[in-house]
Amino acid sequence: MNTEELNRLIEKFYSGQTTEDEENKLSELLKRDDLPAGYDSEKAIFGYFEREGEMAEPSFGFESRILSAIDDSESKESDQRLRKNILPYLSTAAAILLLVGSFFLFYHGSKSEDTFTDPEIAYNETMKVLLDVSARMNRGTRALEPVRKMDEITAQSFNTINKSAGKIGKNLIHLDNILKTLDKNSKQGHENIK
């Protein structure tokens, strides 16, 4: 086997300068049984190519889709750069506009005018409004009177139940003491009998 020619073809293959005929010849050389040692990786590469067959051609329009994706990516990058550069200026302009607008709104809008020129009329109108509010609140609290009565009745019922429970508890203590005394007496009577 001519190892010089094999080395030349391998070098040419790795540099990407082989023709299709040279690659076929290299593949045939690497398949031979008398292949010297040291060419295992090249044999594995060409064996893979042969096992997997030819690489499929890309689908129609593949190249144009790749190029349009690259163009889209570049346009997005330029949009992002533009936003990154303009956004601080727009934010500053919006803040200034907001401050100027607020100043004019509060400065010109904060002047209040008296609705009454006579203080006595203003006092009487204020009292009239306060009396109206008071009357409405009293009407609202009158509507809650049944709820207050129910709350009082519930509290009285709980007090009555608590008193009854207290009396029952005292009577049970007395009854418990009587039962203990009877139990002691019966045990002593049984001991005396024995």
d(CA 23, CA 1): 17
Residue 18: pLDDT over 80: yes
- Confirm whether 174 is domain-assigned: no
> Has this prediction a pTM greater than 0.85?
no
pLDDT for res 127? 92
DSSP state of 114: -
pLDDT for res 96? 93
Percent of the chain with pLDDT over 90: 4
63-70: average pLDDT: 84
- Confirm whether 29 is domain-assigned: yes
Cβ contact 64:31 at 8 Å: no
- Confirm whether 43 is domain-assigned: yes
Residue that wins the pLDDT comparison between 46 and 174: 174
- Confirm whether 46 is domain-assigned: yes
pLDDT for res 113? 65
Residue that wins the pLDDT comparison between 57 and 20: 20
Query: What's the pLDDT tens digit per position in 127-175?
Result: 999 999 888 888 878 877 887 888 888 888 888 888 888 888 888 888 8
- Confirm whether 31 is domain-assigned: yes
Find the length of the chain: 194
- Confirm whether 17 is domain-assigned: yes
Total domains, the chain: 1
The Cβ of residue 6 has, within 10 Å, a number of other Cβ atoms equal to 19
Identify which of 1-15, 29-43, 62-76, 124-138 has the greatest average pLDDT.
Answer: 124-138
Query: What's the pLDDT tens digit per position in 75-84?
Result: 777 777 777 7
- Confirm whether 38 is domain-assigned: yes
- Confirm whether 22 is domain-assigned: yes
Domain range for 18 is 3-52
